[in-house]
Chain A
Amino acid sequence: MSKRKSKLGASDNIWGYLFITPQIVGLLAFTLFPVATSVYLCFLQWDFTSQAEFVGLENFNTIFQEELFTKSIVNTFLIVLGVVPLTVLVSLALALLTTGKMRGLAVYKSALFLPMVTSSAAVILVWYWIYAPEIGLLNYFLEQLGIGGPQWLTETFWARAAIVLMLTWQGMGYYYIIFLAGLKGIPHDYYEAANIDGASAFQKFFKITLPLLSPTTFFIVVTMLISGFNAFQEPFILTKGGPNFSTYNIVMYVYDLAFRYFRMGEAAVVSVVMVLIIGIVTYIQFRFSKRWVTYLD
């Protein structure tokens, strides 16, 4: 019996490795090897054409002193700190309003999710026009409401706001659907028990819904932060990083250093710093999550 089992085990091992081979090749060649190379590039001075030169920590010194380095990190954080709360607010509010049985929900879902599916350069062009100062639609609508619209895209604060609004528009449907699924997962008995105890809607929301939804909220915040850090085409097409580099983020900085100025070493340093920041922020969230995330089991 044991002999037979070990033979079966051996064939399982062979089949297992065979099945994962293509993906393992990809994992090594197109993820792990490039990451290791990027770390190595941090210590080289190289313009892509001439001989690379080992320079130790010099790239770190140069880049940390560049104004754009700090600026791009601050901008990234500012935009992420705008997008995350706004998107959570909108998508959670919509999910709470539409939880349970509701007519037309399927249609609402697909309409809200449309921006995510078509998040391409083409749609950013449409936004470019919506934000246009004189003939833009947004300012026209604001004017109808009696509000004088700002100079979107050309004033520091409003350019960032424009990116935040567009990213929120893009993501709200996706996170709405996830929130809706999370709400569905909360067992009904909790509300029934609360009803018997005569709890108010307010109490039910803060004592049952919010705590039991916290794993979903946590997942959403973590995902959204990571995707916010990676935003590239939105600022690249909408504002080109301007005005005065106010929407210039870390990814744009890496792209420019590497593919416009051919400062490969410094570009690698910034990309490594970016990954470290994402890692640290995610780690802090996991540590901090124990205080506010409630798991049912």
Chain B
Amino acid sequence: MTRSLASRTVSHAAIILFCVIAVFPFYWMLTTAMKPREDIFLFPPLLFPQHFDFGSFPLVFELMPMAKAYWNSVQVAVLTTVGTVFTSALAAYAFAKIPFKGSGFVFGAFLSTLMIPFTIIMIPLYLVFSKMHWIDTLNPLIVPTVLINAYGVFLLKQFMMGVPSAYVESAKIDGAHHFSIFWRIMMPLCKPALITLGLFTFIGKWNEFVGPLIFLNSEDHFTIPLIIASFQGVYTIEWGLLMSAATVAVIPIMVLYLLTQKYYIEGITLSGVKG
């Protein structure tokens, strides 16, 4: 399709406007975090910082157990990601490449749970975890996601269906069993999809709010989003502090996203349109 110069200019202008809208809150967060206190409350606001003051960053770590929250969030995100990618890949391989009895029905059952919201399962989960003495530990945030990830199974199955069955069949004729085919042939071939699912899980877990809100009680066990929310309760209008805390919380995810965005956007297209 060829476009006229005018129509191209309009397109660029429109999308740039929305990109600015998309990015602006982050810009505002970062610059506010770096402004000295007296510049933050200026009105009209200073869109471009004129003096820099990084003093509120160390303060964030002093006033709240931010370092602890970081460590908690890292544990939850890493353990969940590794676990759920593995179990989802196993199940996806079975659904995509092993013609076992009842496979269609069971896969249908998985798909149907995609629509079940967390709201209807959170109360029973709370009851079960309190019986197991798991409340105020990180286990309730890790174990369920490792063991059930219908979305992950679906995403990886879609991808594995695209891998020619001849790979599996010829390895089978050579006497390989399914686990070695899965581990040595399928997993390396599925790397992009595995990375995509890993990123989705990691970022989803890093941002998770309701689960930690329900299952965690003491500040020492809080993950980052909870610390941020409790920060808001205490330092209501200390904008410099709040924005520094927000920056500290968002930066790792932003960096991770900028390094890996290719997988992200491909992943959405794969799961979205085929869905």
Contacts and interface: CB of A to CB of B under 8 A. Distances in A.
B115 A37 contact: no
Contact of A108 (B19, B44, B149): B19
A115 B19 CA distance: 10
Interface string A80-113: 0000000000100110011111111001111111
B5 interface: no
A120 B106 contact: no
Interface string A178-191: 10011001000001
Contacts of A250: 119
Interface string A95-139: 001111111100111111111011111110111111000110100
B161 interface: no
Interface residues of A, number: 98
B261 A31 contact: no
A56 interface: no
Interface in B106-136: 106, 109-110, 113, 115-128
Contacts of A258: 122-123, 126
Contacts of B106: 20, 24
A178 B100 CA distance: 33
A111 B207 contact: no
A33 interface: yes
A148 interface: no
A251 B153 CA distance: 27
Given A13-B101, A121-B249, A122-B245, A177 B268 contact: yes
Contact of A26 (B11, B26, B148, B257): B148
Given A111-B22, A117-B203, A251-B119, 16 more contacts: A12-B99, A22-B147, A27-B150, A98-B11, A103-B12, A121-B228, A121-B249, A122-B29, A122-B224, A126-B29, A177-B272, A178-B268, A219-B272, A233-B210, A274-B119, A282-B115
Contact of B265 (A90, A97, A110, A268): A110
A169 B117 contact: no
A23 B25 contact: no
Interface of A: 9, 12-13, 15-17, 19-20, 22-27, 29-35, 37-38, 41, 48, 90, 93-94, 97-104, 107-115, 117-123, 125-130, 134-135, 137, 140, 169, 172-174, 177-178, 181-182, 185, 191, 216, 219, 223, 226, 229-230, 232-233, 236-237, 250-251, 254-255, 258-259, 264, 267-268, 271-272, 274-275, 278-279, 282
B89 to A, nearest CB: 9
B148 A33 contact: no
Nearest to B26: A114
A23 B147 contact: yes
Contact of B239 (A9, A25, A129, A267): A129
